[in-house]
Each structure stands twice: as C-alpha cells, then as structure tokens.
C-alpha cells in the first residue's frame, strides 16, 4: 500500500463536474474530506494486530477493503487550489449516489442501469463551463435549460466514462495493493477511533507528505480513513457503511435532459 495507492484512494472522491453543451466538452474534478482520527482512543483487548508488522496490517487492510461489496466515501481534498467536498455511496454493481461541492456550487450524481444522472445548481454549472472557456451566452442558455433538471448521460456519450468511473468500486480499489516496486515502509502510530470504531493507524512519510491510514480493529480490517498532509493536495477520506445496500432512485423522466439534445436547446 504505497503513497500512489493512498493518493488513488484519497481521490476516490472521484467526483466530477461535466460541462456539456453543444459538443462533447467535459471536465473532471476529483475529491474527498474528513480530519485526522481522534487521539487517546483505547485499543480493543486483546489487540487484533498485536505483534503484526505494520506492512502486514496494511496488506490485510487492502485485502479486506478490496473484498467489500459497497462503501460510502466522505471527505475534502484540495485540488488545483480548490477545496472539494464529497459524500458518495457506491457498490460493486457500479451503482452510486452522492453529492459534491466545489467552487461554491453543488451537484448530485446518480448512476443506475449504466445511465448516469447529474444535477447541479447554477454555481456548479457556471464554474464547470467557465473553466472550459465556453462562451457566456452558451453558458446562460445551458443553465436555463438544465435549471431544476437532471442531465441524463448514456454509456456511449461524452462524460460517461469520467462520471461512471466514480461508481466503479472495483476500479477505485484496484491498485491499493500495488507497491510500484517501492518499499512500503509503513510504521504503526497510536491507536485511535474513527466514528466510534477503534482503529490501528499506519503512517508513511515521503518527502514533505505524510499519509495516515486508519484500519478497523473490530470485525474485518477495513480501511476506515486516509489522511494526507503536506504536498500540493492535502485532504482526507472517510470510508464507512461497508457492505450496506446502495439505493439509487431514477429521476422522473420529465425532470431529465438528454445529453444528445442539449445542442438543440430542447429537453428530452
């Protein structure tokens, strides 16, 4: 479990803003939120990881986390100087539902039956499209069309892969165990708690970056939190609701706009 893996999980945020107008313009922003695990926690007795090297604890955590059928990710990360907040639930059937906030705008994302739905407020859409140098009149017209509606994106349409990746649990967790040929060099820090769950903390320092991974000491050794400090993209992600069903509702048809119709200025 290397710094590359930690950054991948931290960015599991994976959440993105798609700016769609006449043409396949898209933009993606990845994110996550949280805070360090609370200190002065009391470890379970007996400690399930007593005498186990930190790197092996990491291996067990990776194996357990990759076996999850679903989980929830919440957090904040700084990307390109912008804080991004997310709260997403995703399962191994590539279904997900959640929200993100960036540059003062908020958006909700859902994916079910291979169809992605994205609903943003004006601030979200304006920031997304402005970042792509979309002309102001076109931005205004698109915002008016999408006001109060969900953008419906089919699997073969622009933005589907970027947004759909947010909901691909297996892909999000796929590289957790990769070591990139580097020694892992994890050390065990003080025991703590994450949302009331006792955790063992694993720490890795690389340059001016420090990554702290919290591993559950109760039940399966799931990763419960990843915190990154220093570097250009500090942040943290809390993982919870492991193996709980993810319920995704399809938006009403009269509240959707098909991506293919945007260039016509007509809702689907």
CATH code for position 111: 2.50.20.20
Q: Is residue 267 part of a domain?
A: no
Q: Is residue 186 part of a domain?
A: yes
Number of domains in the chain: 1
- 23: DSSP letter: B
Q: Is residue 200 part of a domain?
A: yes
In the predicted structure, residue 42 carries a pLDDT above the cut 60: no
Report helix, strand or coil for 156: coil
In the predicted structure, residue 108 carries a pLDDT above the cut 90: yes
In the predicted structure, residue 32 carries a pLDDT above the cut 80: no
pTM: 0.79
- 107: DSSP letter: E
Q: Is residue 260 part of a domain?
A: no
Q: Is residue 169 part of a domain?
A: yes
- Domain residues for 170? 3-246
What was the pLDDT predicted at 148?
92
Q: Who's near 28: CB < 8 A, 6+ residues apart? A: 16, 17, 18, 162, 163
Q: Is residue 254 part of a domain?
A: no
d(CA 77, CA 96): 20
Q: Is residue 257 part of a domain?
A: no
The strand pairing partners of 197, in sequence order, are 194
Q: Is residue 220 part of a domain?
A: yes
The strand pairing partners of 133, in sequence order, are none
Q: pLDDT (tens digit, 9 = 90+) per residue, 116-166?
A: 999 999 999 988 888 778 889 988 988 999 999 999 988 877 766 666 667
pLDDT band at 23 (very low <50, low <70, confident <90, very high): very low
Q: pLDDT (tens digit, 9 = 90+) per residue, 159-210?
A: 666 666 678 888 888 867 665 445 468 999 999 999 999 999 999 998 999 9
């Amino acid at each position: 479990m290397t710094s590359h893996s930690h950054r991948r999980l931290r960015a599991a945020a994976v959440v993105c803003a798609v700016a769609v107008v006449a043409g396949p313009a898209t933009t993606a922003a990845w994110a996550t939120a949280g805070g360090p695990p609370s200190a002065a926690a009391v470890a379970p007795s007996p400690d399930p990881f007593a005498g186990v090297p930190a790197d092996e604890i990491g291996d067990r955590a990776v194996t357990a986390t990759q076996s999850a059928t679903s989980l929830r990710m919440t957090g904040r990360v700084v990307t390109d100087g912008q804080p991004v907040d997310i709260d997403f639930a995703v399962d191994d059937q590539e279904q997900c539902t959640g929200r993100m906030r960036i540059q003062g705008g908020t958006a909700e994302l859902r994916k079910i039956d291979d169809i992605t739905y994205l609903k943003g407020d004006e601030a979200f859409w304006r920031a997304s499209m402005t970042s792509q140098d979309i002309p102001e009149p076109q931005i205004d017209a698109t915002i008016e069309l999408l006001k109060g509606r969900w953008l419906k994106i089919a699997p073969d349409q622009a933005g589907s892969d970027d947004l759909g990746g947010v909901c691909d649990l297996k892909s999000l967790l796929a590289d957790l165990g990769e070591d990139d040929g580097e020694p892992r060099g994890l050390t065990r820090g003080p025991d703590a708690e994450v949302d009331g769950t006792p955790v063992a903390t694993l720490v890795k320092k690389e340059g001016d970056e420090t990554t702290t991974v919290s591993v559950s000491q109760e039940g399966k050794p799931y990763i419960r939190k990843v915190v990154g400090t220093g570097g250009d993209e500090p942040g943290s992600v809390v993982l919870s609701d492991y193996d709980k069903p993810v319920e995704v509702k399809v938006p009403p048809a009269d509240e959707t706009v098909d991506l293919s119709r945007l260039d016509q200025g007509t809702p689907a």
